[in-house]
Amino acid sequence: MVRSDARENRARILEAARQAFAESGDTSMNQIAQRAGVGPGTLYRNFPTREALVLAIYQHEVDQLIGSVPELLATLPPLKALQRWTTDLVSAMRKKHGLGDALSSGAHQAITEQTYGPVIAAITQLLDAGKRDGTIRTDADPGDFLQLTGALWRAASGAKDRSQPMLGLILDGLKAHPQR
Amino acid sequence: MVRSDARENRARILEAARQAFAESGDTSMNQIAQRAGVGPGTLYRNFPTREALVLAIYQHEVDQLIGSVPELLATLPPLKALQRWTTDLVSAMRKKHGLGDALSSGAHQAITEQTYGPVIAAITQLLDAGKRDGTIRTDADPGDFLQLTGALWRAASGAKDRSQPMLGLILDGLKAHPQR
DNA sequence: TACGGTAGTGGAGACCTCTCCGGATAGCAA
DNA sequence: TTGCTATCCGGAGAGGTCTCCACTACCGTA
């Protein structure tokens, strides 16, 4: 039984957080709680970590990204699709404050399963397509790939965006080796 | 002109930090300052971030790692040498509390140039050897590689150590493409 | 040896994350 | 309505990071 006031509070927190993060990425949890007219305790009961909150806020964007996989696979060869998708992912991480940290640290957190699971599933789809047509090595692991994506995002956040050459390197590593 | 008391304070901080980190990785800066008989202000003037402190503590280990490059290159083909060296690096990151965070975040910090620079130089040596004998693609970038190493280390810290397969993937990506 | 300029000190304090728990209250039963 | 209680609230507070600046003490000079 979820009490109605609890539901409203959760909604208010999400709304406040959405606004706050839109303005700046380094808003403190306290500020968000205050903005939502709620104590820090309530905030943390709903979202035990900053990551959980960020993921909840950007659930929609992440869903969209995940939903784009079938279309990409329908119009592009698997490797190209993976490249495009990953570029989009990194780009989303850059634009949405905190999303990068959340997704790349999320690998260790069971809390984020709701978001993290689907992302892994999306990557799995992309990789599997490539494995099926023989362009991607069969031992490629979705979790590994996501982890490497974290490095990409960090690279994209630096002074010079090195994410494209790095992605190129990773994709080359993913390619199946034609025996010569 | 460095005052003598300042030099001693710095030494005391390093010694206290060395002990503290040997005991546990999540020692607070305050605790270290206290242990060194010094105010937090003094600690932070000497080492502006936790990373800077960690790097200073493990300077010796890092130096050793860097020094091992010539011997590796003398006894192994470049790709193998790079593989061994990177494995050692990740292993050192795992053993020494906080070193991983320091090195992989260090990519963005000018502060860490003293340690970060030589590490890049070491990677450059390894990559260049491979470029010279044609086993490593000529556009491989040392900074990119270090960044990817960060992902390796994070992967190695997880429940299951996935760093070896991931390293394999990266090395494959680094290989020069023989034109067919 | 006494002294002044200045490099260096260190702790108070602003602000943060996260926890704990006494008190408030929504929702149900009577 | 009223009373009960599981559920939820929210703020005090422990402990952390990092800054600022009034003060201290080192060291070259006379």
A–B CB contacts, 8 A cutoff, strictly below: 77
Q: pLDDT tens-digit profile of B159-176?
A: 789 999 999 999 999 998
Q: Which of A96, A118, A19 is nearest to A51 (CA)?
A: A96
Nucleotides of C under 7 A from a protein CB: 7-13, 15-21, 25-28
- A7-33: string of b/e by CB count within 10 Å (b at 16+)? eebbeebbebbeebbeeeeebebeebb
A165 touching B (Cβ < 8 Å): yes
Q: What is the structure's pLDDT at A21? A: 93
Contact between residue A32 and residue A43 where contact means Cβ atoms under 8 Å apart: yes
Kindly state the tokens that stand for B91: 């292993």
All domains of chain B in start order, with CATH: 4-46 (1.10.10.60), 57-174 (1.10.357.10)
Distance A170 CA to C7 C1' (A): 50
Q: What is the structure's pLDDT at B107? A: 47
A108 touching B (Cβ < 8 Å): yes
Q: What is the structure's pLDDT at A98? A: 85
Distance B5 CA to D23 C1' (A): 16
Residue A166 has its nearest CB partner, among B148, B162, B165, at B148
CA distance A112 to A147: 15
Q: pLDDT tens-digit profile of B21-30?
A: 998 888 999 9
Q: What is the structure's pLDDT at A108? A: 52
Tens digit of each residue's pLDDT, chain B (180 residues): 788 999 999 999 999 999 999 988 889 999 999 999 999 999 999 999 898 899 899 989 999 999 999 999 999 999 999 999 999 999 999 888 888 888 776 545 554 566 778 899 999 999 999 999 999 999 999 999 999 998 898 888 877 899 999 999 999 999 987 654
